Structure 1
Amino acid sequence: MQKEKVVLSKHDKIRRMTILAMFVAIIIVMGMVPFLGFIPFLGLSFQIITIPVIIGAVILGRKEGLILGTVFGIVSLIRGAMSGGFDFLFVLPWISVLPRMIFGWVIYDVFKFFKKLLPKNRLVALALGFLIVSLIHTLLVVPMLATGFPIVFESPSIYEGVLKGEYGADTIAGLEGLQSFNTIIKWMFGVLISNGIGEAVLAMLIGSVVTDRLIAYLTSNNESILIGSVYEVSN
């Protein structure tokens, strides 16, 4: 039997848009305030800005996840233009925006899978979802980031941009060493281990608890905000 589509009232739509705007504002603030959403680490930032993107996508739904992921990508692009080292490579939209759009879109499916896998243990399902989705984000971004290496030496503006910042010269020296496919693969695995796993664990520990409490509150109040989300009240 096909599930009947719930039509939101104008009031409910405005409330959902307000909450979406709130998450957008959080992402922008975290992205633009130094050491808040992006924590510099040896020329490449340690990112916790993924946490509000994931929470918003789980609470609001797939389309909203795409919007939040796109905002995340645009903020990353703008911040890249203001940064040096590896972070400057995020001025390239296929490195900053495209992976984050895909990331925002797939959040719903990953959390839906774990919800069905662990229907009686929401916190564990959320924790696994945050862990896997955060790793997916890293796996989407790092290969794209590697495509920017050759462009650095072909474009004077990008070369100068990379040289900006505390680790600029070290970054250029590192890029010059990435001349072979095997070296690039080793570099990508290094970033996955040093940044990706740390970001995933932090997202799991913080995000799962915050999201679980939000869902508990919204569910107990039978909030229409959850309509269309992973943990829709009528599910």
Structure 2
Amino acid sequence: MVENTKRTLTRNRKLALTGAFSALVIVLGITKLGFITLSLTASITILQIPVILICMLAGLPEGLFVGLSFGVLSLIQAAMTPTGVLDPLFINPLCSVLPRLLLAVVAWLCWKLLNLIPHMPKTVSASVTGFIATAAHTLLVIGCLYIFEGGAVRKALGGIGYWALIGTLSFNAILESLASTVVCASVFAGFFIASNKKSKLSEE
């Protein structure tokens, strides 16, 4: 009976987290709060962070769901309110949805592998996962664009190649990865502290 109750609580917790992070992605995307402009040449996107966090806190299935929410939102915005020269290409789900699903897989695998290292602090694992997964997200999105819409990409960007575009976006990509590092470590530390307090209270 106790084990069934614990399983129900865990399942309900995962469902609640999945719903909360999916809603967060949608709100950040619709309100544009997920796009932070630092200067005329530097800006960062934080929409990938909820996907990475849910993979660490709940698991891969939940991460795939939040990643799907991210991808579908990107597709809808590309269809309804495109702003950049490449935005219309995200109508293709292989460019908008697929890389966000792959992001969840990368984040989950990275998290699991880092936790296999003996005595590795969870907050360090969270920060490293945030950095690697965010960098991978940039590579995956641009990679999918070139694989599935390569001709249109080159035409829109004047013939620029994959690695040249990566080089152009490298500064922003590093900023996004650093932001993910800080946020993932901070949020995970907060959840870890809160969970420990609840565990102690339940024991009393």
TM-score by length of 2: 0.81
Change (3 A) 1:120 1:39: closer
Match of 1:208 among 167, 185, 198: 185
Cα distance, 1:53 vs. partner? 1.4
- Could you say which structure has the greater relative contact order, defined with CA pairs below 8 angstroms and 6 or more residues apart? 1
Change (3 A) 1:54 1:28: same
Structure 1: which 5+ residue stretches go unaligned? 1-5, 154-170, 224-235
Structure with more helix by fraction: 2
What SS does the corresponding residue of 1:46 show, helix, strand or coil? Answer: strand
**Alpha-carbon distance in structure 1 between the residues aligned to 2:35 and 2:92:** 18
The alignment of Structure 1 onto Structure 2 pairs a total of residues equal to 193
1:70/1:104 contact within 8 Å kept: no
Change (3 A) 1:184 1:126: closer
The correspondence of residues 70-109 of structure 1 with structure 2, limited to 5 A, is 70-81=68-79, 82-85=81-84, 86-109=86-109
| Structure index of larger Rg | 1
Percent of paired sites with the same residue: 28
Cα distance, 1:99 vs. partner? 0.9
Structure 2: which 5+ residue stretches go unaligned? none
2:56/2:126 contact within 8 Å kept: no
What SS does the corresponding residue of 1:116 show, helix, strand or coil? Answer: coil
Cα distance, 1:71 vs. partner? 0.9
Matched, 1:187 2:165: yes
Match of 1:25 among 18, 23, 29: 23
**Alpha-carbon distance in structure 1 between the residues aligned to 2:7 and 2:164:** 53
Residue 53 of structure 1 aligns with which residue?
51
**Alpha-carbon distance in structure 2 between the residues aligned to 1:11 and 1:46:** 36
Cα distance, 1:202 vs. partner? 0.8
Matched, 1:38 2:35: yes
